């Protein structure tokens, strides 16, 4: 009976204290693609990814009913950092669903504007709002509707007292007339959250740095140490818990949050990326430090990723050093990555699998039509016939007294040639081991695609090469040779394609640079670089996230400067979120049904080379 009464009381108080309009709520998943398109179409940073924002502590004054129910302790606001545009996972601030959806689009437009230098949160958001309305005047009506709906949900200044009332009036005036209020009155508590603005105190991230000399690097190291000292001063020393006791004790109500101290040793982790450790420390609300008098009896390190040398592919050469783009420093780090060329030594020559032969015959017939017909080659020193046009020009020049040579007066019928070279680089990362249906994995689909792609290009006579890649940090980046430009397509190549298997991670920038260096040396008027992948760039180190995205983007730009045509084919359903930034709006295609990849890849090649 006591539990039932308590449960009813909890429901009643929670319902009375609840804010927002759950029935009119809109989730980020519903509008994520639209928000991303709007953000980039309005000029937003193409490298930023849309993600859900975390809850932050709500320091504004709460009513007695909210304090009684324990609600509104945290709030979710939008903010932007170097890698992400962070938006609430769900917005139900406003009474209408259409308004909540418009709020998502307004926040995306607001995030496009640059931060105001030297301005505080209050002034910066006003400046950002003014800049957005000035740059996109069509948003003025939407902004007015959002302001009117939001003001109706804010606490009335009459219900507050003193400085808090003045602060609330200032916020209302700033929302109605951006730029009309110079400063926010100081009060004991901040005003209620403003969902139409960005986060008042977003996490601080390092700004991009230019190339620096050793003296500047030393100064940066000193600044880093000072920041770490500040982090240490924010830490607190706690008593190490008894290791014999689990996380859960007798009283379940003792567990207030998952964020409480857990006895985990972070000092012995094999982590060579200091920036990640610093960012984790900054994200924590509180650092708990304890002293443990016991020492580990031994430290055991082993690696489950690398296969035995006898079971691995054959390594060819000592490796190739390649640079990598550091987007924070805005410079190439020379010799940062090492390419390890590899070859499947135990791959046996084989025929095309029976299940693909019918499709391969059809593709061969279609692609043979792309072979140029026999054409007349003019201005030849010798040939089947006299080139009348060349002879008339020669005779006219002789009569006019102009000295001219008579060594190009014939024409000859010869076979045409497609002045084209193509290199396909296939992603063989660990994610290709996932299943797409009850019968096939991603790696199986990629293998069939490579078979049919090679069959089709062999029918055209085009020069082509096929490689696969995966990585394990920056050294090694494994590149598997399936077919080089100098090899003929046959049973040996099919055996290597059959032998491909899932590897490790996807250091895409290094793979593109290596492919560019091989393709750029080919004597062809048009050189196509195809990248076949199932996901975004990633690796064990800091290559995950914005770093890998920007390095890949820089590698694509370098390939274009070499006169190459990079093009990406992906089966990642979220490829539209980041591939426009990497390859441009016409530089990629998303195959939404992975099982269609084997048939569509050759046809895509035909369209690209038509």
- What are 113-162's pLDDT values in tens digits? 876 665 688 888 889 899 999 999 999 999 999 999 989 888 888 888 88
User: Parallel, antiparallel, or unpaired for β 410-415 and 385-386?
Assistant: antiparallel
What is the sign of the dihedral through the CA atoms of 184, 188, 190 and 191? negative
What is the sign of the dihedral through the CA atoms of 409, 414, 418 and 421? negative
Point out the least confidently predicted range of 144-153, 248-257, 363-372, 485-494: 248-257
Residue 326, SS3 per DSSP = strand
Tell me what the mean pLDDT of segment 248-258 comes to.
41
225 band by pLDDT with thresholds 50, 70 and 90 = low
529-587 tens-digit pLDDT: 999 999 899 998 889 888 999 999 999 999 999 999 999 999 998 888 889 999 998 89
452 and 382, same domain (yes or no): no
Tell me what the mean pLDDT of segment 465-482 comes to.
94
487 and 523, same domain (yes or no): yes
d(CA 171, CA 177): 10
Res 563: pLDDT: 93
Are residues 458 and 444 in contact, defined by beta-carbon separation less than 8 angstroms? Answer: no
Residue that finishes a domain, picked among 148, 176, 204? 176
> Does the pLDDT of residue 260 top 80, yes or no?
no
The H or E element spanning position 467 is: strand 463-471
Res 269: pLDDT: 41
497 band by pLDDT with thresholds 50, 70 and 90 = very high
105 and 141, same domain (yes or no): yes
Res 323: pLDDT: 96
- Of these ranges, 74-83, 166-175, 294-303, the one predicted with the greatest mean pLDDT is 166-175
158 and 125, same domain (yes or no): yes
Res 250: pLDDT: 42
249 band by pLDDT with thresholds 50, 70 and 90 = very low
Tokens found for residue 82? 């170097």
**In this structure, what CATH number is given to the domain that contains residue 444?**
3.40.50.410
Res 49: pLDDT: 82
Res 15: pLDDT: 57
406 and 553, same domain (yes or no): no
37 and 16, same domain (yes or no): yes
Res 219: pLDDT: 57
Res 211: pLDDT: 41
Point out the least confidently predicted range of 257-261, 305-309, 385-389: 257-261
Exposure string of 333-363, with b = 16+ CB inside 10 Å and e = fewer, is eeebbbbbbbebeebeeeebeeebeebbeeb
Phi, psi of 544 (to 5 degrees): -70, 135
d(CA 287, CA 236): 6
Tokens found for residue 260? 């409480």
Tokens found for residue 378? 């003019």
338 and 437, same domain (yes or no): yes
> Does the pLDDT of residue 183 top 80, yes or no?
yes
Res 446: pLDDT: 95
Euclidean distance between the first and final Cα of the chain, in Å?
Answer: 78
210 band by pLDDT with thresholds 50, 70 and 90 = very low
Res 256: pLDDT: 42
Residue 431 within any structural domain of the chain: yes
Res 257: pLDDT: 42
Res 55: pLDDT: 76
572 and 595, same domain (yes or no): yes
Domain span including residue 275:
218-240+270-291
Question: What mean pLDDT, rounded, does the chain reach?
Answer: 79
Residue 183 within any structural domain of the chain: no
43-59 tens-digit pLDDT: 888 778 888 887 777 66
334-346 tens-digit pLDDT: 999 999 999 988 8
384 and 425, same domain (yes or no): no
Tell me what the mean pLDDT of segment 177-195 comes to.
86
Are residues 364 and 459 in contact, defined by beta-carbon separation less than 8 angstroms? Answer: yes
Number of domains observed in the structure of the chain: 4
538 and 470, same domain (yes or no): yes
592 and 571, same domain (yes or no): yes
Are residues 115 and 45 in contact, defined by beta-carbon separation less than 8 angstroms? Answer: no
The percentage of the chain sitting over the pLDDT mark of 70, rounded to a whole number, equals 73
Point out the least confidently predicted range of 155-164, 201-210, 312-321: 201-210
Residue 285 within any structural domain of the chain: yes
Tell me what the mean pLDDT of segment 394-421 comes to.
76
Residue 476 within any structural domain of the chain: yes
312 band by pLDDT with thresholds 50, 70 and 90 = confident
445 band by pLDDT with thresholds 50, 70 and 90 = very high
37 band by pLDDT with thresholds 50, 70 and 90 = confident
Residue 553 within any structural domain of the chain: yes
Residue 197 within any structural domain of the chain: no
Residue 60 within any structural domain of the chain: yes
Residue 264 within any structural domain of the chain: no
User: Parallel, antiparallel, or unpaired for β 420-427 and 463-471?
Assistant: parallel
Comparing 511 with 210, which gets the higher pLDDT? Answer: 511
Tell me what the mean pLDDT of segment 17-37 comes to.
83
Res 186: pLDDT: 85
172 and 234, same domain (yes or no): no
Tell me what the mean pLDDT of segment 264-269 comes to.
45
């Amino acid at each position: 009976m006591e539990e039932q009464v308590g449960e009813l009381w909890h429901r009643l108080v929670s319902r009375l204290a609840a804010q927002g309009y759950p029935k009119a709520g809109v989730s980020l998943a519903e509008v994520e693609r639209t928000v991303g398109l709007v953000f980039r179409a309005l000029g937003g940073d193409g490298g930023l990814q849309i993600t859900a924002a975390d809850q932050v502590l709500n320091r504004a004054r709460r009513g007695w009913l909210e304090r009684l129910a324990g609600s509104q302790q945290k709030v979710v606001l939008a903010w932007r950092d170097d890698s992400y545009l962070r938006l609430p996972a769900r917005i139900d601030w406003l009474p209408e669903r259409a308004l909540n959806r418009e709020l998502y689009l307004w926040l995306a437009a607001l995030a496009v504007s640059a931060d105001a230098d030297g301005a505080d949160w209050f002034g910066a958001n006003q400046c950002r709002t003014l800049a957005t309305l000035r740059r996109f005047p069509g948003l003025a009506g939407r902004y007015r509707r959002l302001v009117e709906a939001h003001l109706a949900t804010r606490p009335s200044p009459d219900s507050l007292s003193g400085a808090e009332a003045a602060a609330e009036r200032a916020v209302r005036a700033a929302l109605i007339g951006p730029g009309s209020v110079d400063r926010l009155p100081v009060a004991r508590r901040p005003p209620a959250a403003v969902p139409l603005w960005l986060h008042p105190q977003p996490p601080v991230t390092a700004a991009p740095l230019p190339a620096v000399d050793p003296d500047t690097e030393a100064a940066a190291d000193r600044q880093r140490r000072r920041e770490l000292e500040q982090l240490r001063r924010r830490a607190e020393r706690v008593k190490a818990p008894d290791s014999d006791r689990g996380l859960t004790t007798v009283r379940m109500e003792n567990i207030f949050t998952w964020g409480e101290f857990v006895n985990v040793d972070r000092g012995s982790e094999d982590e060579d990326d200091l920036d990640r450790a610093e960012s984790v420390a900054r994200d924590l609300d509180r650092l708990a430090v304890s002293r443990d008098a016991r020492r580990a009896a031994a430290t055991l390190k082993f690696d489950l990723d690398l296969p035995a040398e006898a079971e691995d592919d054959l390594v060819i050469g000592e490796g190739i050093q390649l640079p990598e783009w550091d987007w924070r420093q805005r410079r190439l780090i020379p010799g940062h990555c090492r390419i390890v060329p590899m070859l499947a030594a135990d791959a046996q020559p084989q025929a095309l699998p029976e299940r693909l032969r019918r499709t391969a015959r059809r593709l061969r017939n279609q692609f043979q039509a792309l072979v140029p017909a026999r054409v007349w080659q003019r201005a030849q020193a010798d040939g089947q016939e006299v080139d009348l046009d060349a002879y008339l020009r020669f005779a006219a020049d002789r009569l006019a007294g102009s000295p001219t040579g008579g060594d190009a007066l014939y024409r000859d019928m010869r076979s045409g040639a497609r002045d084209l070279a193509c290199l396909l680089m296939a992603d063989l990362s660990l994610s290709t081991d996932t299943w797409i249906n009850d019968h096939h994995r991603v790696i199986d689909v990629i293998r069939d695609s490579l078979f049919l792609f090679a069959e089709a290009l062999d029918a055209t006579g085009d020069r082509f090469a096929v490689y696969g890649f995966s990585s394990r940090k920056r050294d090694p980046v494994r590149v598997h040779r399936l077919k080089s430009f100098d090899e003929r397509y046959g049973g040996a190549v099919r055996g290597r394609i059959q032998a491909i298997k899932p590897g490790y991670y996807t250091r895409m920038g290094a793979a593109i640079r290596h492919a560019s260096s091989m393709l750029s040396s080919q004597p062809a008027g048009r050189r196509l670089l195809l990248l076949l992948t199932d996901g975004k760039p990633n690796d064990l180190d800091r290559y995950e996230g914005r770093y890998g995205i920007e390095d890949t983007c820089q590698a694509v730009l370098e390939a274009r400067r070499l006169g190459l045509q990079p093009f990406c084919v992906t089966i990642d359903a979220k490829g539209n979120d980041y591939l426009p930034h990497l390859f441009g709006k016409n530089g990629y295609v998303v195959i939404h049904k992975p099982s269609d990849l084997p048939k569509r890849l050759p046809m895509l090649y035909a369209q690209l080379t038509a």
